[in-house]
Amino acid sequence: MDARTFIDIMRTTGRLKDMTRHSWTAGGRHESVAEHTYHLLMMAYFCRDEFPEADMVRVMEMCLFHDMGEAFTGDIPTFVKTDADEEKEARQTAAWIDTLPEGYREQVRGLFAEMEAMESTEARIYKALDKLEAVIQHNEADIATWLPLEYQLNLDYGQEETRFSEFFRKVRQLAKEDSEEKIAREKRQN
């Protein structure tokens, strides 16, 4: 890869540091897409012993690239994202992938195809982690940052995606209990 191409790729991926998500951090500021990605990578790293049959490097690669489209569209919360938004993000991501050097282009395109198909163990792990990260992050944030619909959403989000794994079901249940406790505490204070 030539140096200019490398810098151009870093400039584009670096946009994720400035793209804020709907989520808030425990410190009281909007979380960036890059921070979400970092947290997701940490989750994948620390659950690798739970999935000895899986290629966890591949899972981490999926986690690394899964929100790349948000460098072009910004973050659109799942509860308002439309099919048209999904299509636009997919088109812009595909156009960016087409600019990558040979070898990288095929690898990243393959990651997106695998994530879209959701047939491999690795894709299912990545997707479960992505859903769990959102719930865990909401639990870390001040409940004052939650929208009214998020009270129920935080109790239900990711149930389907985590069902395939006993470990993820346990993590999801604990996150749900944390959400219930947070909601109950907020009700007691008001």
Q: Which domains does the chain have, with CATH numbers?
A: 3-189 (1.10.3210.10)
Q: What average pLDDT does this structure show over 178-184? A: 96
Q: What average pLDDT does this structure show over 110-137? A: 98
> pLDDT per residue over 126-168, tens digit each?
999 999 999 999 999 999 999 999 999 999 999 999 999 999 9
Sign of CA dihedral 38, 89, 13, 121: positive
| Residue 161 to residues 20, 73, 76, 137, 186, Cα–Cα distance (Å) | 24, 25, 20, 17, 28
Query: What is residue 11's predicted lDDT score, i.e. its pLDDT?
Result: 97
Query: What is residue 84's predicted lDDT score, i.e. its pLDDT?
Result: 94
> pLDDT per residue over 30-74, tens digit each?
999 999 999 999 999 999 999 999 999 999 999 999 999 999 999
pLDDT category at 190 given cuts 50, 70, 90 is: confident
pTM: 0.95
Sign of CA dihedral 151, 141, 31, 175: negative
